[in-house]
Structure 1
C-alpha cells in the first residue's frame, strides 16, 4: 500500500507545485503590467523640459527629492525673502529667515532622493509606479495569510484596477501609494512573525499555561532561526518605520493596529523579536528624525505648525496626568486627559455625521461595485461564524477599528481640492486618505465573487443528477471562468471611472497638463530669469524657474511688500484676466495708494493674463 500511495502523493505535490508556479507567474505579470501602464501614462504627461505636477504637494516633493539626491540638502536659500517677510515661496513650502523648507513629511523626498543617487533624478517620477507594483505583490502575500490563495489572487486583480490606487500611482509624487506599499510589506512580515509557530520550548508546558511559564518563554533565549527570529521582525520594523516616515500622521491608527496585533498573538511575541522589530523601526525613521532636527529643531517636529502644536499640547497633558497620579484626583485628571487628548487628535473637529456623509460620497456612491459586493461578502462570512478562522476574526476586528479611526479622523475634516466645492470627485483627498479602507474591503468582495461563482458553476448550470459526471478539474475550470468574468466586469468599471468617469479623471488630467505646459512656456518666455511672479494658482508650476508669491492685491501689508520688491526685481502678476473696470479700479485706488501701477504684458489662453507691476 505504501508503494502505491507514494507515487500518488508525489504526483499531487508536483501538480500543486506547478499550480503555485503558474500563480506566481501571473502575480508577477500583473505587477509588471501595472507598473508599465502607470509609467506609460506618466511618460505621456511629463516631458524632459516640463516635469510639473497638478498639486503643490507633488511639486514640493519632487523639488526636494531631486535636491536631496543631487546636493544632499532639503532647503533652498532665497535672500530676497529677508526683505519680503518670507512670503516668497510656493504653497506646500515654508520660509524661515530666507530658507525655503518642505512643509510635508520627509520620508518620500528622502527615499526617492536616495534612490535617484543610485539611478538618475530623471527616474523620480516613476518610482511610485514601481512602489505600486511592489505593493500589489505584498498585498497578495498578506491577504493569502488570512483568506487563502484564491481570495488573495482575485483581491490582487481588484486592487490593480482600484481607481484611487492607480490614480495616485500616476499622481506619483503624492505620499499615499508609497505609504500603502511600505505598510503592506511591513504588515506581511509582521503577520508572518506573529502567525508563524514559534520554536517550541524544550519541555512543553501542560495546558493551560501558567503565567509563569509564559513569562519564562517570553524572556528565554530561543533556538535562533535567522528567518523567523531576525528577518521577519526586522522586515516588519524596517518597512513599517519607512511607512511612518512617509506619512507620520497615520500613527493615529497604526499604533492601535500594532497593539491589537500583539494582543491577538501575545504567545508568539518574544523579547528577541520585539527588540529586533524596535531596532529596525528606529533605523528606518532615523533619517527623517535627523532632518526634522536640522530643519525644524526637533526630531518629532515637522513643517505642519498644527501638528507641532498638537504634540506640545499632548506632552503637556501627559505631564499633568503624571503629576496628578500620586494624588487623590487622578480619576478626574485621567478624565480630563482623555478629553484633552480627543481635542488634540481631532484638531479640526469631531463630526461623526459628516464622516458618515463623506463615506457615502467617497465610497458607497463613488464605488458601488466595490462597496456592495464587499458588504455582501462580509455578511456571507458572518452567516457561518463557526467556519471563520481565528486569524480572520483578528483581521476583521483590526480592520473595523482602523476603518472607524480613519473614517472619523479624516471624515471630520473638509477638503476642497476641487475648485468646485460642491463636487465629489476622485481628486479630493478623502480617496487617498482612505486607501487602507478600500484595500481592507476587497477581500470581502472577492469572497462574494468566489461564492457566487461556485453557485453558478455547480448548482445553476448543471442538473443535480449530472453532477457526478462533473469532474473536479472541470468544476474548478468553470468556477475560475465565472470568477474571471466578474473580475473583468469590475476592472472595466474601474478603468472607465478612473479615466473618464470623473471630471478629474486621468483623460481630463492629461488634457489639463497640456494646457498647463503651454501657460508655463509663455510665462517663462515673457519674464526674466530673476523675476517674481505673484499668482494664486500657478505657483506650483512656475517654481523654481521663477520666484513666486502666492497672493493677490487684497492685503495692504502684502501690497507694500510687492512695492519693496520692485526696487530690486521685476515683479509680475499672473491670474485671471481683469475686466477693464477692475483694472482701472486697481490702478486708480488700491495700487495707487501705495505707489504701484499694473500693466498688461500678454494674454495667455482665453482666461489668464500676465501683468507687470511698476512703481
Structure 2
C-alpha cells in the first residue's frame, strides 16, 4: 500500500507539472490567441508560416495548395520561402504531415486549435515517456526522466515554437514506442493497431526519419520475434499504411508523384553542390548530404557542450555511469536500450552534422533556433533516462535523498533551460516575442499604404507580409526582373522591402540591378528603423 500511495503521488505530481507546462509552452500561442481568428498570424520563421497557412487551408478547403493569380504572369516567382509553385499551384516545400494533422483537428474543433496541436501532443508525450521508461527501467527512473524532459531546453524551445513539427514527430514516436512494447508484452490487438496508427502519423510528420526508424524496428522485430503476434503485426502495418495514405494522395496532387516531397535540396556542403556530388545508392538513401565525420563532430560539440554546457556535462556523466552499471549487470533489456541509443545517435550526428545549416543571417552564430537542435531532438530526449538511471543508482537506498536531489536538479536545470530558451542569443523566445510585436506593426503600416493586389519583394521578411499580400523572396536572375516588369505592366503594383538607403545608395542600387531591365526603384513611401518600402516602376512609364 505504501508503494501504491507513492506511485499515485508521483503520477499526480507529474500530471500537475504537465498541466503547468502546457501553459508555459503556450506562451507564444496564447500571445497570438486574440489574432487567431483568420489566416493572418505572423510567425518568426518561414516553416512556421507555411505549416500554419496550409493547416488553415486544409481545415477550410481540404486542400494543401492554392493559386496566386500573380503566378499566371510571374510563373513560379510569387511565393514565400517554404512554399513552391508547381503547375501554377502554390504547395508546401516542407513535409505535409503537420498541416494534415493540425488541419484535421481544426476541422473537428476550431481553427484556433492549430497553434496548440503540437503543445497538446508535447504534453501527452511527457506522460507516455514516463510509461515507456517505466517499462524499460523502473518507476523512479521513469519519473525522473519525465521531469527532465519537461525542462529539457530543446524540447521546451520547440514546444513553444509550436508550428515547427519536430517535437510533434518525437512525441508521436514516444507514444508509438510505448504501444509497441505493450503490444509485444500483452499480444492484444488494440495495442498493435494503435502502434501502427501512431507510427504512421510520426512518419507523416517527418518522413525522412524512416532511414533510421525502419532499421530500428527491424532490429526489434528480430530480437523479439518469438514474442510477436505476427498476424496482429501485419494488421498494424496495414493501419500504418492507412494512416500514412493521405501523404501519398496529397503528394500526387501537389507534386504529381506519391513519392515526391516539397523539399528542394539546394544547400551547400563544405563548398560543394550536393546535387552534383557522385553518391552511390546507399549514400543517396542513408547519407544524402555526404559523410563528413569531422564536420559532424564539430557541429555536435557546438550544439551540446558549447550551447548547453550544464546539461551536456550531466548527460555525459549519466551516460558513462549508466553505461558502466548496465554493462556490469548484463541486463539485456537495458543493454539493448543503450546500444540502440548509441547507434541512432551516432547516425543522426553524422546524417545531420555533415550538413551545413545557415538558419541565422550570421552563419557563425550558434543558437538554439538552429536546425541542428531540432534535428537532434531524439538524441537530447533519449539520453535523459541514463541520467535518471545514474541518479537512482547512487541514491536508491534513500527515498528522501532521491526526492531531494531530483527536486534540486529539476530547479537548477530548469533555471538554466529557462535562461537558454527565453534569453538565448538571437533566437530566444523573449526576442521572438518582441520580433512578432515589431512585425505586426510593420505589416499593419505597410498594408495600409499599398494596394490589395500589391506584390512585395520581401527577402527574409516574406514571413511578415504573407498571406496578407503576395510576396517574392528574392530577385536572383535576369529572368526574375523580367517577370517583375511583366507583373507591373499587367497592373500588379510591385514593391521592394529592403534596408533603408539614402539617395546615393538608391541610385547605385538602381544602376547596378534595375535600370538594365527598364525598371526603377523609387524613393521610399514607408520607413522603419532599418528598413523601408520602395515602389518599383517601369522606366518612362505611367505604371
Which of 347, 352, 359 is matched with 2:288 structurally?
347
2:23 to 13, 22, 36: 36
Mapping 1:455-604, distance limit 5 Å: 475-552=398-475, 555-567=477-489, 568-588=491-511, 590-604=513-527
Question: Any idea what SS the aligned residue of 1:572 has?
Answer: strand
Alpha-carbon shift at residue 447 of structure 1 (Å): 2.3
Q: Which residue of 1 aligns with 2:319?
A: 378
Q: How far does residue 77 in structure 1 lie from its aligned partner after superposition?
A: 1.1
C-alpha separation between the residues in 1 aligned to 2:517 and 2:247?
Answer: 44
Pair 1:422-2:345 in alignment: no
Does residue 1:411 correspond to 2:353, yes or no?
yes
CA distance in structure 2 between the partners assigned to 1:244 and 1:382 by the alignment: 30
CA contact (8 A) 1:563 1:596 kept: yes
CA contact (8 A) 2:323 2:338 kept: no
CA deviation string 1:500-524 (max 9, x = no partner): 1433111111111111111111111
Within the alignment, does 1:447 sit opposite 2:392 as a pair? no
Q: Match of 1:329?
A: none
Rate the CA distance shift 1:419–1:343 in 2: closer, same or farther, 3 A. Answer: same
Aligned match of 1:298 = 257
The answer to whether the aligner puts 1:256 opposite 2:256 as a matched pair is: no
- Give distance in 2, aligned partners of 1:386 and 1:586: 69
Contact 2:115/2:163 (CA < 8 Å) preserved in 1? yes
Cα distance in 1 for residues equivalent to 2:173 and 2:130: 13
CA contact (8 A) 1:371 1:441 kept: no
Shift of 1:346: 2.2
Residue in 2 aligned with 1:148?
138
Aligned equivalents of 2:50, 2:437: Cα separation in 1: 20
Q: C-alpha separation between the residues in 2 aligned to 1:448 and 1:386?
A: 13
| Residues 26 and 160, structure 2, Cα contact 8 Å, conserved in 1 | yes
SS in 2 for 1:94: strand
Aligned to 1:398: 340
Residue 431 of structure 1 and its aligned partner are, at CA, apart by: 0.4
Secondary structure at the counterpart of residue 442 of structure 2: helix
My pick for the range that moved more, 564-573 or 368-377, is 368-377
Instruction: Provide runs of 4+ in structure 1 moved above 6 Å.
Output: none
- The separation in 2 between residues aligned to 1:133 and 1:242, in whole angstroms, is 17
Query: 2: distance between equivalents of 1:147 and 1:54?
Result: 39
Query: What is the Cα-based RMSD across aligned positions, in Å?
Result: 2.0
Distance, in Å, in 1 between the alignment partners of 2:196 and 2:435 is 41
Relative to structure 2, which stretch is displaced further, 597-606 or 244-253? Answer: 597-606
Contact 2:79 2:471 in 1 (8 A): yes
Cα distance in 2 for partners of 1:383, 1:539 equals: 51
Q: Displacement of 1:236 after TM fit?
A: 1.2
* Offset, 1:290: 1.3
Deviation of 1:305 (Å): 4.2
Matches of 1:579 and 1:391 in 2, distance apart? 68
Instruction: State the partner residue of 1:212.
Output: none
Question: How far apart are residue 591 of structure 1 and its match?
Answer: 2.2
TM-score (norm 2): 0.92
Contact 2:81 2:473 in 1 (8 A): yes
221, 224, 240: which one aligns with 1:281: 240
Instruction: Please state if 1:174 is matched with 2:97.
Output: no
For 2:259 and 2:295, how far apart are their aligned partners in 1? 31
Deviations 1:407-457 (A, max 9, x none): 110001011111111111100000000000011111112223334445xxx
Cα distance change, pair 239–546 in 1 and its aligned pair in 2 (3 A):
same
Instruction: Report the secondary structure of 1:419's partner residue.
Output: coil
Is this contact kept in 2: 1:45–1:513, CA < 8 A?
no
Deviation per CA, 1:541-585, whole angstroms, max 9, x where unpaired?
211110111114x63221111111111211111111123222112
Q: Aligned match of 1:243 in 198, 202, 214?
A: 202
Q: Which of the residues 120, 125, 142 maps onto 1:130? A: 120
The alpha carbon displacement at 1:243 in A equals 0.3
Change (3 A) 1:74 1:258: same
Please tell me whether the aligned partners of residues 92 and 102 of structure 1 are also in contact (alpha carbons under 8 angstroms).
yes
Unpaired stretches in structure 2, ≥5 consecutive residues = 267-277, 539-543
Shift of 1:343: 4.1
In 1, Cα distance between equivalents of 2:9 and 2:372:
37
Give the counterpart of 2:7 among 15, 20, 27: 20
SS at match of 2:70: helix
8 Å CA contact 1:69–1:121 kept in 2: the answer is: yes
Query: Deviation per CA, 1:163-184, whole angstroms, max 9, x where unpaired?
Result: 1111111111111011111111
What secondary structure, in the 3-state scheme, does the structure 2 residue paired with 1:268 have?
coil
* CA contact 1:600–1:609 (8 Å) conserved in 2: no
CA distance in 1, matches of 2:410, 2:451: 54
Offset of residue 288 of structure 1: 1.3
CA contact (8 A) 1:64 1:102 kept: yes
Alpha carbons 2:134, 2:141 under 8 Å: kept: yes
TM-score (norm 1): 0.82
The CA distance in 2 between the partners of 1:476 and 1:17, in whole Å, is 14
Q: How many residues align?
A: 522
Paired residues of 1:46 and 1:52 also in contact (CA < 8 A): no
- Please report how far the alpha carbon of residue 74 of structure 1 lies from its aligned counterpart in structure 2 after TM superposition: 1.1
Q: Please say if residues 395 and 402 of structure 2, whose CA atoms lie closer than 8 Å, have aligned partners that are also in contact.
A: yes
Matching residue of 2:80: 90
Local SS of the residue matching 1:574: strand
Change (3 A) 1:501 1:64: closer
Q: Counterpart in 2 of 1:324?
A: none
Go from structure 1 to structure 2 and tell me whether the alpha carbon gap of 1:548 and 1:574 turns closer, same or farther (over 3 Å shift): same
Partner of 2:191: 232
